[in-house]
Amino acid sequence: MEHRIIAAGFGGQGVMLFGQIIALAGMIEDKHVTWLPSYGPEMRGGTANCTVVVSDDPVASPVVDMPNEIAIFNIPSLLKFEPTLAEGGILVMNTSMIDREPQRKDIKVIKIAANDVAEKLGNVKAQNMVMLGAFIETTKVVSKESVFKALEKKMTGKKAAFLDLNKRAVEEGMKLAREQL
């Protein structure tokens, strides 16, 4: 099984971290993983995205032209990546930021008002972790336990203070996705 994932949004929405946590969790599960960021001028103001591959076999191309799972954080990214999603693929979208409907009828769509949820949890910045929870619940790419381990590895020093909030955000996202499955 190979999960070909693209996560996309504005720079600053935590899209890169979203992808890194999935990749790290995949590594913790002894899977083969790659994480490839977009970099350059597009990161300032425009869309930022990263491509993550999580696979049982060694990853050949870290570049993906037809993802089977996408996490979309803003409208420009929806316009750019919805058409590339494989038939039967999964779209998880942040409806706090996207006030329009996806066009495809041949995909599974999970809608999460991630900013609102994160705000209720105490910090809107955790919206990417709400999205992450919804994403792993829907795609089963990695387990919650591995995501938590990855967060513990990643969030050290000053960031450790946000660990608990992030974990709760992941769990909330999972719950909301489960209600839609």
Site for other proteins, rule CB under 8 A:
20, 23-24, 27, 33-37, 39-40, 59-66
> Between 20 and 115, whose beta carbon lies closer to other proteins?
20
Question: Under a CB-based contact definition with an 8 Å cutoff, are residues 8 and 70 in contact?
Answer: yes
Radius of gyration of the chain (CA): 15
CB of 178 to other proteins, least distance (A): 28
The label of the residue with tokens 């839609």 reads 180
CB of 61 to other proteins, least distance (A): 4
CA atoms within 13 A on the CB side of 66: 4
> Between 62 and 122, whose beta carbon lies closer to other proteins?
62
CB of 33 to other proteins, least distance (A): 7
Angstrom distance (rounded) from CA 102 to CA 148: 31
> Between 23 and 177, whose beta carbon lies closer to other proteins?
23
> Between 23 and 118, whose beta carbon lies closer to other proteins?
23
Angstrom distance (rounded) from CA 29 to CA 142: 8
Q: What's the sign of the alpha-carbon dihedral 78, 94, 142, 22?
A: positive
CB of 134 to other proteins, least distance (A): 23
Q: Would you give the distance in Å from CA 131 to the centre of its chain?
A: 6
For residue 67, give both structure tokens: 């993802």
CB of 125 to other proteins, least distance (A): 22
> Between 12 and 62, whose beta carbon lies closer to other proteins?
62
